[in-house]
Amino acid sequence: QSGDIRFIDSSHTVKIGGDVNYLFLEVLPRLRPGVIVHVHDIFFPFDYRRDWVLDEFRFWTEQYLLQAFLAFNSDFEVLLCNNYLAYRYLDHFKATFPSSPWWGGGSFWMRRKLAANRNRS
């Protein structure tokens, strides 16, 4: 119902029969208006961290499906993208939290705006 929060921290990989596919293709389209969704480990507007890919072999693809899901999708509105916020206001974050070892973030927040289209062809 409106005001509920759906927290997604998945395998982060798009693959046959995977949890990410199920969440983005089955669960999110069925959410009621007003439901807030948090997706963890999303680094818009950039790619995943280089060291994660090259050193740790994390071949995550979830944020690319999220980007495709949101493109031309007027049923969801973006509320906050922590990584972009940290990038855009890095100097402010450093001044406010000088002892922090890192000022980034991977939280992406969105909200369902409209009722699902029940007449799909």
Task: Give 3-45 pLDDT, tens digit per residue.
Answer: 999 999 999 999 999 999 999 999 999 999 999 999 999 999 8
How far apart, in whole angstroms, are the C-alpha atoms of residue 10 and residue 65?
13
* pLDDT attached to residue 115: 61
Q: What pTM value is reported for the model? A: 0.85
**Cβ-proximal residues to 47 (8 Å cutoff; 6+ apart), any chain:** 53
**Residue in 51, 54, 57 with CA at minimum distance from that of residue 12:** 57
* Residue 75 near residue 110 (C-beta atoms within 8 A): no
User: Does the pLDDT at position 118 exceed 80?
Assistant: no
How far apart, in whole angstroms, are the C-alpha atoms of residue 39 and residue 42?
7
| Angle (nearest 5°) at CA 62 between 118 and 55 | 175
